[in-house]
Amino acid sequence: MAAVRETVEAARKLEAEKYSAGFVTDIEMERAPVGLSEETVRFISAKKQEPAWMLEWRLGAFQRWLAMREPNWAKVHHPPIDYQGATYYAAPKNAPKYKSIEEVDPEILETYKKLGIPLREQEVLLGVEGAPKVAVDAVFDSVSVVTTFKEELAKAGVIFCSMSEAVREHPELVREYLGSVVPVTDNFFATLNSAVFSDGSFVYVPPGVRCPMELSTYFRMNAQGAGQFERTLIIADKGAYVSYLEGCTAPMRDENQLHAAVVELVALDDAEIKYSTVQNWWPGDAEGKGGVYNFVTKRGDCRGARSHISWTQVETGSAITWKYPSCILRGDDSQGEFYSIAVTNGRQQADTGTKMIHLGKNTRSRIISKGISAGNSSNTYRGLVSAHAKATGARNFTQCDSLLIGHECAAHTVPYVEARNSSCQFEHEATTTRLSEDQLFYLRQRGIPEEAAVALLVNGFAKEVLQKLPMEFAVEAQKLLEVSLEGSVG
Partner 1 sequence: MSLALPSRRDEAWKYSDLARALSGHDLSSVAPARGGSVIASMARAFAEEERVLTIASRDGVHAVEHSLSHEARGAVTRIHVPALQAGMVVETIYGHLNLAAGLSEIRIEEGGALTRIVIQQDAQKAVSAEEIAQVALNEARVSVAAGGTFRQFVIAEGAKLARIETHVALDGEGGEVELNGVYMVREGRHADLTSTVTHQAANARTKQLIKGVARKGGRGVFQGRIVVPRGAQGTDARQYHRAILLEDGAEIDAKPELEIYADDVSCAHGNAIGALDADQLFYARARGIPEAEARALLIEAFLIEAIPEDLPQRDDLITRVQRWLQT
Among 202, 204, 209, 213, which residue's Cα sits nearest to residue 122?
Answer: 213
CB 430, min distance to partner 1, A? 5
> What stretch of H or E contains 395?
strand 395-405
Closer to partner 1 by CB, 237 or 332: give it.
332
Residue 300: phi and psi, rounded to 5, are -115, 140
CB 19, min distance to partner 1, A? 25
Cα–Cα distance between 3 and 68 in angstroms, integer? 47
Cα–Cα distance between 334 and 360 in angstroms, integer? 7
Binding site for partner 1 (CB under 8 A): 4, 73, 389, 402, 404-434
CB 204, min distance to partner 1, A? 38
Closer to partner 1 by CB, 84 or 423: give it.
423
> Is the Cα dihedral 208, 212, 213, 215 positive or negative?
negative
CB 406, min distance to partner 1, A? 6
CB 120, min distance to partner 1, A? 44
Closer to partner 1 by CB, 5 or 93: give it.
5
CB 404, min distance to partner 1, A? 4
Hey, what amino acid is at 192?
Answer: L
> What stretch of H or E contains 373?
strand 364-374
Confirm if 430 and 403 have CB atoms less than 8 A apart. Answer: no
Closer to partner 1 by CB, 131 or 389: give it.
389
CB 422, min distance to partner 1, A? 4
Closer to partner 1 by CB, 169 or 418: give it.
418
CB 30, min distance to partner 1, A? 43
Closer to partner 1 by CB, 142 or 378: give it.
378
Q: What is the pairing mode between strands 29-31 and 90-92?
A: antiparallel
CB 489, min distance to partner 1, A? 12
Q: How far is CA 437 from CA 198, 374, 455, in A?
A: 48, 15, 14
DSSP per-residue codes, 276-325: EEEEE-----TT--S-EEEEEEEEEEE-STT-EEEEEEEE---SEEEE--
CB 424, min distance to partner 1, A? 6
Among 249, 244, 225, which residue's Cα sits nearest to residue 234?
Answer: 244
Buried b (16+ CB within 10 A) or exposed e, 7-43: bbebbeebeeebbebbeebebebebbeeebeeebbeb
Closer to partner 1 by CB, 37 or 433: give it.
433
Closer to partner 1 by CB, 49 or 423: give it.
423
Say how many CA atoms lie within 13 Å of 263 toward its Cβ: 27
Confirm if 381 and 390 have CB atoms less than 8 A apart. Answer: no
Closer to partner 1 by CB, 320 or 419: give it.
419
CB atoms within 10 A of CB 224: 15
Closer to partner 1 by CB, 247 or 415: give it.
415
